[in-house]
Structure 1
């Protein structure tokens, strides 16, 4: 009878097992794996085992029995998925102490299904069995991934297909085969899509935030200085607590810049249009 698995004795006393085909309780076509055949060969030797999987799935109860055999095995089990581990085969896959996936492999999980016939009680019983089977599968997935019961149940109901990266992210696999681990740079290069963060412009304790702006002619001016100019023109002296306690870093209001008729100071730094806007705000 044809078997789709094959034991390979490695030089370092480890064994390699390839699973390629469906999983079933009995062999109908000669290429299915059955729990009894698997047990006989698993227990025929010792040492760590590497299991390569390429299977679309099969009988969930046969897969559950093989899962238990692998978990109970004395040596270390490394599972490598080279193409696909779907449905019941994904249950076998998560039995590995370490699960590795080829970057082109897929892992699929979904709700169990069956064929039922009979009356309403038979249909209700079928639903009950499927519900409990799903719970047993969730136990295996949760033990490997660490995901919550609700999250796994939702993934199964939606028939979730996972590439290697997604399987690792969700915890169903541990590593991606053949992936090169590059040394991470000390600092990330500048990302053109993410502009650099500007320094904190908020004033510190005891500091006053200075608003620096440009007028229509492109001259720089200070909002604080413009306030002093406007107050000077209106003949009002600043009498705030800040003005009384702060050191005279700014010139007194009486000594503020004098505006010419063209709307600029002696230095030519301030626009007449800006002054008019300040006056309009004070009306």
Structure 2
């Protein structure tokens, strides 16, 4: 097999180099073929070395190729450690999290962001969730990882160790030191190094830029702070400002949600109020309907009672007409019937009609010598007629 990404496949711990963009550019044919890297790692696994190391210095690239490499590391029976030697950004940072042991040099850094490219938003959302799950091997909650990806977060080695995104940080100062032969007494070598470094630094030292001194003072740093330290401090300020802005936006969203909830509650109360008004109107309508029905029944009752009284009076008057006491025609019968219907009129009309002789002339009531008649039949009929007229005018 031709080994393209492995330094020495026969080594006790072979090293595989992930030191380019992930995915082959069809134009330049440059980049790491994810499927080929996967096949090569599986071949190493079959050779049963003690362990495998994947050295990473990549800006990321094609997610599909990254899946192949990530899966090969996870499914290898041989323990695979990942080592970040510079940058492990985007999908390369995701692959870094697949290692059994995740090691970073003190100058290296990680970067995570949401996947992008293409027009299929649904596919991008699926990839975002998938990548978040792969990073979640670090033990961080997926929600926190998704927030980190959304902000396009850069993480230095010491921060990665603190956040649980790596297991070890190797100090670059501990590697590749020049070894001097022991000259003189023990301890002289280290003294020689200090003196030599001091001389060398003095020779190479450049005049400090006054502007940089002012910037360092403004940032609260020592005047001798390096440009990297200043840039790091500025990056921290930018990240904090970005975090503060996002926190402010979150608070605005929370307040907007409270306002929307209050509006919804007001709308709900308004609907309840309208519903109560409709129910009240319905009850009032039912009440009015019952009252109308009651009035209709009362009217029917009064009409029935009036019809019964009319029938009673008419039957009485017709009896006297048939007996020849009054004229037997419709007008006369109607007149006496209406008089009899007046309040208290029935008995009076009956008594008077009974007192009429058969020749229809009212009898004269005989009184004492000095007495005047208190009433005559005609007079009494006038009283009844007046009562009847009064009742009609009420």
TM-score, reference length from structure 2 = 0.40
CA contact (8 A) 1:101 1:176 kept: yes
Query: Is the alpha carbon distance of 1:28 and 1:44 closer, same or farther for their aligned partners in structure 2, counting shifts above 3 Å?
Result: farther
- Equivalent in the alignment of 1:134: 128
Which stretches in structure 2 are left out of the alignment for 5+ residues?
175-394
Task: Give the Cα–Cα distance (whole angstroms) in 1 for the partners of residues 164 and 26 of structure 2.
Answer: 32
Q: Secondary structure at the match of 1:129?
A: helix
CA contact (8 A) 2:110 2:156 kept: yes
Deviation of 1:39 after TM superposition, in Å, equals: 2.5
Task: Give the Cα–Cα distance (whole angstroms) in 2 for the partners of residues 171 and 139 of structure 1.
Answer: 15
CA contact (8 A) 1:4 1:18 kept: no
Deviation of 1:166 after TM superposition, in Å, equals: 0.9
4+ runs deviating over 2 angstroms: 3-11, 25-31, 43-46, 178-181
The Cα RMSD (Å) is 2.2
Deviation of 1:43 after TM superposition, in Å, equals: 2.5
Residue in structure 2 matching 1:65, options 64, 68, 87? 68
Output one character per residue of 1:200-256: Cα deviation in whole Å (capped at 9) or x when no partner: xxxxxxxxxxxxxxxxxxxxxxxxxxxxxxxxxxxxxxxxxxxxxxxxxxxxxxxxx
Which stretches in structure 1 are left out of the alignment for 5+ residues?
117-125, 182-283
Task: Give the Cα–Cα distance (whole angstroms) in 1 for the partners of residues 164 and 7 of structure 2.
Answer: 28
Aligned length: 168
- Equivalent in the alignment of 1:36: 35
- Equivalent in the alignment of 2:170: 177
- Equivalent in the alignment of 1:200: none
Task: Give the Cα–Cα distance (whole angstroms) in 2 for the partners of residues 24 and 161 of structure 1.
Answer: 22
CA contact (8 A) 2:107 2:172 kept: no
Query: Is the alpha carbon distance of 1:128 and 1:90 closer, same or farther for their aligned partners in structure 2, counting shifts above 3 Å?
Result: same
TM-score, reference length from structure 1 = 0.55
- Equivalent in the alignment of 2:79: 76
CA contact (8 A) 2:107 2:156 kept: yes
- Equivalent in the alignment of 1:151: 144
Q: Secondary structure at the match of 1:22?
A: coil
Q: Secondary structure at the match of 1:85?
A: strand
- Equivalent in the alignment of 1:22: 21
Deviation of 1:42 after TM superposition, in Å, equals: 1.4
Deviation of 1:115 after TM superposition, in Å, equals: 2.7
Output one character per residue of 1:87-135: Cα deviation in whole Å (capped at 9) or x when no partner: 011111111000000100010000110132xxxxxxxxx2211111100
Q: Secondary structure at the match of 2:32?
A: coil
- Compare relative contact order (CA 8 Å, sep 6+) and give the higher one, 1 or 2: 1
Task: Give the Cα–Cα distance (whole angstroms) in 2 for the partners of residues 162 and 8 of structure 1.
Answer: 31
Output one character per residue of 1:62-104: Cα deviation in whole Å (capped at 9) or x when no partner: 1012100110011111111010000011111111000000100
- Equivalent in the alignment of 1:6: 6
CA contact (8 A) 1:168 1:174 kept: yes
Once the two structures are superposed, the pairs formed by residues 82-231 of structure 1 within 5 Å of their partners are 82-116=85-119, 126-143=120-137, 145-178=138-171
Task: Give the Cα–Cα distance (whole angstroms) in 2 for the partners of residues 115 and 149 of structure 1.
Answer: 24
Query: Is the alpha carbon distance of 1:176 and 1:27 closer, same or farther for their aligned partners in structure 2, counting shifts above 3 Å?
Result: farther
Q: Secondary structure at the match of 1:23?
A: coil
Query: Is the alpha carbon distance of 1:23 and 1:127 closer, same or farther for their aligned partners in structure 2, counting shifts above 3 Å?
Result: same
Deviation of 1:36 after TM superposition, in Å, equals: 2.3
Which protein is richer in strand relative to its size?
A: 1
Once the two structures are superposed, the pairs formed by residues 45-60 of structure 1 within 5 Å of their partners are 45=44, 46=47, 47=49, 48-60=51-63
Larger radius of gyration: 2
